[in-house]
Amino acid sequence: MNGLSFVQNRPIDIIGIGRLCVDLNANEIHRPMEETKTFTKYVGGSPANITIGSSRLGLNAGFIGKVSNDQMGRFITNYLNENEIDTSNVSVDQTGAVTGLAFTEILSPEDCSILMYRDNVADLTLSTDDVSEDYIKQAKVLLVSGTALAASPSREAVFLALEYARKHHVTVIFDVDYRPYTWNSSNETAVYYSLAAEKCDVIIGTREEFDLMEQFIKDYESDDQKTAQRWFDYNAKIVVIKHGSEGSIAYTADGLSHRGGIFKSKVLKTFGAGDSYASAFIYGLLQGWDIPRAMEFGSASASIVISKHSCSDAMPTVDEINEFMKTAEKVHL
């Protein structure tokens, strides 16, 4: 119904790989960070949030990553364990690397920003020695996040995981997740994003992220249909292009496209929407739902999360999403 074929007789539904960090979300909202004095600590990082969201929805989830050898690293691992995510392949860095921190500023629902500390972070010390072929072949889905490609040895670790996934028919989902402060240049980003995207079955990104990834293409046009076809010519079967408040469009290799709407909610902050959308969308795909239904489920999940203070803690259950959809107003775009 959605163009994907998952290997069903596997114990793990989804394995995330990449960034594990800590979010420090401002408690004093509607004021600049210069005046903010208190923050609440949460586990963060796009692949972490998506994997946590997947587990909350009842999927069997695991993670491949690296944490710092300190209190912050233990905080992350403990939180994943509490959320029933397998951490057998989350290793501890021994080089003195630290946990990445994301301080969030919530000036208004439309004006939110993130101040990142990403120097010498543990998640980017993930190496090929930390990637187990036996572990990956137990999964139906491998979730790859773009920030893990920003530096070595994490970059090589991700490409090895991609090779193992292709070898063992694990469906690969690529969440582009572009963070400019992690990369040396946009040229470097485009090269490695493109190499990764060529190996993926589902690619999810904003229009701006696809523009960045495709900047070297001859006679390039910022056109959704041409973008989708470009990746269908490799391995992609579904390409989701997000247009912010205008919703998203999912293109499928059979030539169809599906426009997703949004649900109205009382917005507190904008960050977390993409991660919650992805987790619920992936859940729908794994259930064998058609694309429009999976997109609607993802949009409802996103609307729930942006109404709450956290990202990871706010990831909803299936029942919570279903209840929300019964009463929330949907905007068709």
| Per-residue pLDDT tens over the stretch 252-271 | 999 999 998 888 888 888 88
**pTM of the full structure:** 0.96
DSSP 3-state assignment of 59? Answer: coil
Q: Do β-strands 257-260 and 248-252 pair in parallel, antiparallel, or remain unpaired?
A: antiparallel
pLDDT in tens, 99-136: 999 999 888 877 888 899 999 999 999 999 999 999 99
Specify the pLDDT at position 112.
83
Place of tokens 């572009």: 178
Query: How far is Cα 107 from Cα 237, in angstroms, rounded to an integer?
Result: 39
Specify the pLDDT at position 267.
85
Annotated domain spans of the chain: 12-19+46-91+123-331
Q: Which amino acid is at 17?
A: I
Counting residues of the chain whose pLDDT is more than 90, the rounded percentage is 83
What are the angstrom distances between the C-alpha of 155 and each of 37, 149, 305?
Answer: 36, 4, 30
Tell me: pLDDT of 278 over 80: yes
Rounded to an integer, the average pLDDT of 124-150 is: 98
Specify the pLDDT at position 149.
98
Q: Do β-strands 262-263 and 257-260 pair in parallel, antiparallel, or remain unpaired?
A: unpaired
Question: How many whole angstroms from its chain centre is CA 296?
Answer: 17
Tell me: pLDDT of 188 over 80: yes
Q: pLDDT band at residue 54, thresholds of 50, 70 and 90?
A: very high
Rounded to an integer, the average pLDDT of 86-110 is: 94
Rounded to an integer, the average pLDDT of 74-94 is: 98
Minimum mean pLDDT range among 191-205, 209-223, 289-303: 209-223
What DSSP line would sit under 206-245, residue for residue? EHHHHHHHTTTSTT----HHHHHHHHHTTT-SEEEEE-GG
Minimum mean pLDDT range among 15-24, 143-152, 321-330: 321-330
Counting residues of the chain whose pLDDT is more than 70, the rounded percentage is 99
201: Cβ–Cβ under 8 A, 6 or more apart, which residues?
Answer: 4, 171, 172, 173, 235, 236, 237, 238
Tell me: pLDDT of 182 over 90: no
Specify the pLDDT at position 74.
98
Specify the pLDDT at position 333.
64
How many CA atoms lie within 13 Å of 27's alpha carbon, on the beta-carbon side? Answer: 6
Specify the pLDDT at position 264.
87
Query: How far is Cα 225 from Cα 252, in angstroms, rounded to an integer?
Result: 10
Q: pLDDT band at residue 291, thresholds of 50, 70 and 90?
A: very high
Phi, psi of 327 (to 5 degrees): -115, -20
pLDDT in tens, 62-76: 999 999 999 999 999
Specify the pLDDT at position 246.
80
Q: pLDDT band at residue 329, thresholds of 50, 70 and 90?
A: confident
Rounded to an integer, the average pLDDT of 244-257 is: 90
CA nearest neighbour of 94 among 127, 116, 142, 63: 127
Q: Which amino acid is at 285?
A: L
Q: pLDDT band at residue 220, thresholds of 50, 70 and 90?
A: confident
Query: How far is Cα 144 from Cα 127, in angstroms, rounded to an integer?
Result: 15
Rounded to an integer, the average pLDDT of 164-170 is: 98
Question: For the domain 12-19+46-91+123-331, what is the CATH superfamily, name and number?
Answer: Ribokinase (3.40.1190.20)
